[in-house]
A and B are shown apart, each in its own frame.
Chain A
Amino acid sequence: MFYRTSGQFKTSYTADMALFPVRQDAILLAIILAFAWVILPLTASEFAFQTLLIPILIYSLAAMGLNILTGYAGQLSLGTAAFMGVGAYACYKLVTIMPWMNPVVAILLSGVFSAGVGVAFGIPSLRIKGFYLAIATLAAQFFLVWLFEKWAWLYNYNASGAIQVPTLQMFGVTVAGPTASSHVQYYVVLGIVSLMTILCINLTRGTLGRTWKATRDMDIAAELIGINLMKSKLTAFAISSYIVGVSGALFVFMWRGAAEPNLFDIPLSFRILFIAIIGGLGSILGNYLGAILIVGLPVILNTLPETFGIPISSATVEHLNIMIVGALIVFFLIIEPHGLARLWALIREKLVIWPFPH
């Protein structure tokens, strides 16, 4: 009824391949964007900014980076958190060495370092495949976290071994540091995430994206039709690590405010992998859906006992949380192994013919 596609005729190939072949999709997106850019910032509380809005955006970005690598190019990686760490530490060094630098430029530049490290650890993928590669990426995970701890130059030799975000200004407005307002940080994150999303959508629809998909589906066949596997795999590693690095810089500079090496430990990698898989591998929308679920769920679970007045200690709630998240992951994999994005696609198909299915 609301999703009728009848009457929307395509008269050229360009129109058929357009981003929004269905008018309702464009309207829906416009509504979501209006919410994200205008309504939510006006209505959301400080708590909502810090526990929901900003982390959801940052986690979606990280998952999007991973999705390029795992979902589009088919290279399973378990080292995402370490690449986020590279981005965060690179950004920290950039703004402490060059304090005059525009913070947004610094964040965008820090991804370049992470991309470099990503390519270096991506080289084994030319020879190692599948689960062997997944374990190989764990080498990056453990080695880099160890390096963050031992290489004192990275954290400017301070005694705590942690990095503390300095106060940074852009055009006279404080964007990072303890005094920055959540509104400003939210807009910076939203701006960068929107930009990256547009970039990703276009990349995955273009030549590069098709090369990745061919590599994912069967690399030998891809090689036979003339795809340079080395180029395809390494560009996937580079672009994926770039996005993950940027998200890491945002993670520390726009949200956490400080970081210790063990923040980038393996649970964070898994968290992002969950988001990408529950959201749907090989989909851009899925990253957002997955992040909303994985970030939002613990927040809801934490507030539930209070609203119902059940007296449970916070430690118990945390253990229950882990348990429920674990069970939900299994549950979602069973009901829809291709993720929430696929679930949405199914709902959409049903909506097109609703309420008269024949």
Chain B
Amino acid sequence: MDFLNSLLVQPFADMFAAPDFLMQVLWEGLVSGILYALIALGFVLIFRSSRIFNFAQGIMVVFAALTLVGFHEMGVPAWISVILSLGVMFVLAVSIERVVLRPLVGQPDIILFMATIGITLFLIGFGELIFGGENKIMITEELGIPTGEFIFEPFGGFLLLEQKDVTAVVVAAVLVIALLAFLNKTRMGRAIRALGDDHQAALSVGISLQTIWVLVWFIAGIIALVTGIAWGARAGVSFALEVIAYKALPVLMLGGLESITGAIIGGLMIGLFEKLFEIYWGQPLLGGNTETWFAFVLALFVLLFRPQGLFGERIIERV
């Protein structure tokens, strides 16, 4: 009885007893959810256009952030380092397409997946070799990101929103809208979607596979840089960040591998639920640190009922 009480009654009682704390928890969940969604977005873009399950997306986030900080440490002004980092991400996209993907066109999915794990290892080694393994501080102020706090007092309580988190949410929203506009309104964007719908048909109307792949990896690189800045402002920049890359995987499972909407909604859901579970159930009942696996288990249960994720394309099997 006691156990059931602490499982089913106490958490909700706690929530109502301190609504301001609940709002704080929800806000934290929302912010990390948005960052998960951004990483997942990079995955989805690449998966849609090439059926490559890009494991390296999480490392690209860290690599982009490290490059940015690295340029700034060499004395380059903040905004010019951003442009230089974008250049580096472009070079990365071109060389991945040229060196890794082009020779592997048409291979089974698992081989391409393994190749992206190879890229991941290469980037980890390369990044640590050049920038060192220690934790670095993101150049938040130099980029003009506000670092103050908004303080509200709902229900006579206390709610603290960091301005850099608010900025991250706004920038993420702008990025997603820009991306959707790009995919739906421009010629290149339509080509990407065509390639995602039907490879052969897209090739036959003259869409260049190589150009599109470079473009898609470059966009994924831009997303990675934005995510890297936002996450780096919260937690510093180091390869320990790669754990967040794994968080994007349950987001993909939950939302479906092909869906941009799925990535965003899945990210938000996972961010919110894992924070709630950790604070109200995980810490009192299970000894904490449940965030490492909760998202996966949640996604696993959803998949048992919808094997293609919430928004994924229906899996149609032909024999």
Contacts and interface: CB of A to CB of B under 8 A. Distances in A.
Interface of A: 70, 76, 124, 127-132, 134-136, 138-139, 142-143, 145-146, 149-150, 218, 220-221, 224, 266, 270, 273-274, 277, 281, 315-316, 319-330, 333-334, 337
B296 A138 contact: yes
Residue in B115, B117, B133, B300 with the greatest tally of chain A CB atoms within 10 Å: B300
7 contacts: A131-B109, A136-B299, A143-B296, A146-B290, A220-B319, A319-B126, A326-B125
Contacts of A266: 246
Interface stretch (B23-31, B70-78, B162-170, B248-256): B248-256
A326 B122 contact: yes
Contact of B111 (A130, A131, A142, A337): A337
Nearest to A276: B114
A132 B289 CA distance: 24
Contacts of A329: 114-115, 117-118, 121
A111 B53 CA distance: 32
A136 B300 contact: yes
Nearest to B288: A150
B200 interface: no
A322 B121 contact: yes
Residue in A76, A135, A323 with the greatest tally of chain B CB atoms within 10 Å: A135
B124 interface: yes
A139 B297 contact: yes
Nearest to B243: A266
Nearest to A331: B118
Contacts of B289: 146, 149-150
B128 A319 contact: yes
- A contact patch SS: helix
B250 A135 contact: yes
Interface in B161-203: none
A173 B250 CA distance: 48
A325 B287 contact: no
Contacts of B293: 139, 142-143, 146
B317 interface: yes
A-B pairs, top 6 by smallest CB distance, nearest first, are: A323-B125, A326-B121, A326-B122, A322-B125, A329-B118, A139-B296
A128 B309 CA distance: 10
A326 B118 contact: yes
B103 interface: yes
B125 A139 contact: no
Interface in B272-319: 286-287, 289-290, 292-293, 296-297, 299-300, 303-304, 307-309, 315, 317, 319
Contacts of B99: 330
Contact of B315 (A129, A324, A327): A129
B120 interface: yes
A218 B318 CA distance: 10
A155 to B, nearest CB: 14
A323 B119 CA distance: 9
Contact of A142 (B100, B103, B296): B296
A134 B103 CA distance: 25
Interface in B84-130: 99-100, 103-104, 107-111, 113-115, 117-126, 128-129
Contacts of A316: 129
Interface of B: 53, 99-100, 103-104, 107-111, 113-115, 117-126, 128-129, 133, 246, 249-250, 252-253, 257, 286-287, 289-290, 292-293, 296-297, 299-300, 303-304, 307-309, 315, 317, 319
Given A150-B286, A326-B121, A135 B249 contact: yes
Contacts of B287: 150
A131 B47 CA distance: 11
B310 to A, nearest CB: 12
Nearest to A223: B319
A327 B123 CA distance: 10
A327 to B, nearest CB: 5
Given A135-B296, A139-B296, A146-B292, A330 B307 contact: no
Given A143-B293, A329-B118, A132 B304 contact: no
Contact of A333 (B114, B126, B246, B257): B114
B246 A330 contact: no
Contacts of A330: 99-100, 115, 118-119, 122
Residue in B115, B119, B120 with the greatest tally of chain A CB atoms within 10 Å: B115
Contacts of B319: 218, 220-221, 224
A319 B249 contact: no
Given A319-B128, A322-B124, A333-B104, A135 B253 contact: yes
A281 B117 CA distance: 17
A132 B257 contact: yes
A76 B110 CA distance: 8
Given A132-B308, A136-B300, A327-B118, 17 more contacts: A76-B110, A127-B303, A128-B303, A132-B257, A139-B299, A139-B300, A142-B296, A218-B319, A277-B111, A319-B125, A322-B121, A326-B119, A330-B99, A330-B100, A334-B103, A337-B104, A337-B107
A255 B114 CA distance: 28
A319 B129 contact: yes
B297 A135 contact: no
Contacts of B117: 270, 273-274, 329
Contacts of B304: 124, 127-128
A315 B103 CA distance: 32
Contacts of A220: 317, 319
B121 A325 contact: yes
B115 A132 contact: no
A131 B53 contact: yes
Nearest to A218: B319
A138 B249 CA distance: 9
A274 B114 contact: yes
A218 B319 CA distance: 8
Contacts of B257: 131-132
Contact of A143 (B107, B128, B133, B297): B297
Contact of B299 (A130, A135, A218, A221): A135
A142 B107 contact: no
A135 B118 contact: no
